[in-house]
Structure 1
Amino acid sequence: MTDTAYVARRASRSEFLPIRGLKYHLRHWGDPKTVSPERPPLVMMHGWMDVGASFQFVVDALSDDRYIVAADWRGFGLTETPNEDSYWFADYLGDLDGIVDAVLKPFPGLEQIDLVGHSMGGNVVMLYGGVRPARIRRLVNLEGFGMPATVPKMAPKRYAAWLDELKQPVEIRPYASQAAVAARLQKTNPLLRSDRAHWLAGHWSKQDENGLWQILGDPAHKRSNPLLYQRDEVVACWAQISAPLLWVEGDQTDAGKWWNGRYTKDEFHERLKVVPSPVTKAVLSPAGHMLHHDQPEALARHLEAFLAG
Structure 2
Amino acid sequence: MYQPLRPCRCEFIRIRTLNYHVRLWGDAQPGTPPLVLAHGWMDVGASYQFVVDAFSAAFATGRQIIAPDWRGFGLSTLPAPCDHYQMADYLADLDQLLDHYAGGAPVDLVGHSMGGNVAMMYAGVRPARIRRLVNLEGFGMPATQPAQAPKRYAQWIDEIRQLERGEMALKAYDDLAGVAQRLMKTNRRLAQNKADWLAGHWARPNAQGRWEILGDPAHKVISAQLFRVDEALALYAAITAPVLAVQASDDSLGMWWKGKYSLDEYHQRLTHVPNCRTAVVQDAGHMLHHDQPQAVAELIEGFLSEV
Structure 1 and Structure 2 fold alike (TM over 0.5): yes
Shift in Å, 1:302 = 0.8
Which amino acid is the alignment partner of residue 292 of structure 1?
H
Which amino acid is the alignment partner of residue 188 of structure 2?
P
1:62 paired to 2:78: no
1:167 is paired with a residue whose SS is helix
2:226 is paired with a residue whose SS is coil
Q: TM-score, normalised by structure 1?
A: 0.94
Distance in 2, Cα, partners of 1:165 & 1:130: 31
Contact 2:18–2:76 under 8 Å retained in 1: yes
Instruction: State the match for 1:9 in structure 2.
Output: 5
Task: Give structure 2 stretches of 5+ with no counterpart.
Answer: none
Which is worse superposed, 258-267 or 79-88? 79-88
Q: TM-score, normalised by structure 2?
A: 0.94
Contact 1:253–1:287 under 8 Å retained in 2: no
Instruction: State the match for 1:132 in structure 2.
Output: 126
Contact 2:245–2:279 under 8 Å retained in 1: yes
Which is worse superposed, 207-216 or 145-154? 207-216
Distance in 2, Cα, partners of 1:254 & 1:122: 15
- Aligned ranges 1:168-247 → 2 under 5 Å: 168=162, 169=166, 170-247=168-245
Distance in 1, Cα, partners of 2:55 & 2:255: 32
2:111 is paired with a residue whose SS is strand
Contact 2:203–2:211 under 8 Å retained in 1: yes
Which amino acid is the alignment partner of residue 307 of structure 1?
L
What percent identity do the matched residue pairs reach?
56
Listed one character per residue, the Cα deviations across residues 81-120 of structure 1 (whole Å, up to 9, x for unaligned) are 3532211111111111111111114xxxx61100000000
Which is worse superposed, 88-97 or 42-51? 88-97
Listed one character per residue, the Cα deviations across residues 152-203 of structure 1 (whole Å, up to 9, x for unaligned) are 1101111111111122222101001101100000000001111111100000
Which amino acid is the alignment partner of residue 295 of structure 2?
A
Which amino acid is the alignment partner of residue 44 of structure 1?
L
Listed one character per residue, the Cα deviations across residues 45-85 of structure 1 (whole Å, up to 9, x for unaligned) are 00000000000000000012231000000000010235322
From 154, 157, 173, the counterpart of 1:160: 154
From 289, 293, 298, the counterpart of 1:301: 298
- Aligned ranges 1:24-63 → 2 under 5 Å: 24-32=20-28, 35-37=29-31, 39-63=32-56
From 77, 82, 89, the counterpart of 1:80: 77
Q: Which runs of 4+ in 1 moved over 6 A?
A: none
Contact 1:25–1:72 under 8 Å retained in 2: yes
Distance in 1, Cα, partners of 2:68 & 2:226: 27
Task: Give structure 1 stretches of 5+ with no counterpart.
Answer: none
Count of paired positions: 297
Which is worse superposed, 220-229 or 249-258? 249-258
Distance in 2, Cα, partners of 1:160 & 1:120: 24
2:52 is paired with a residue whose SS is helix
Listed one character per residue, the Cα deviations across residues 205-245 of structure 1 (whole Å, up to 9, x for unaligned) are 01122211110000011111111111110110010111111
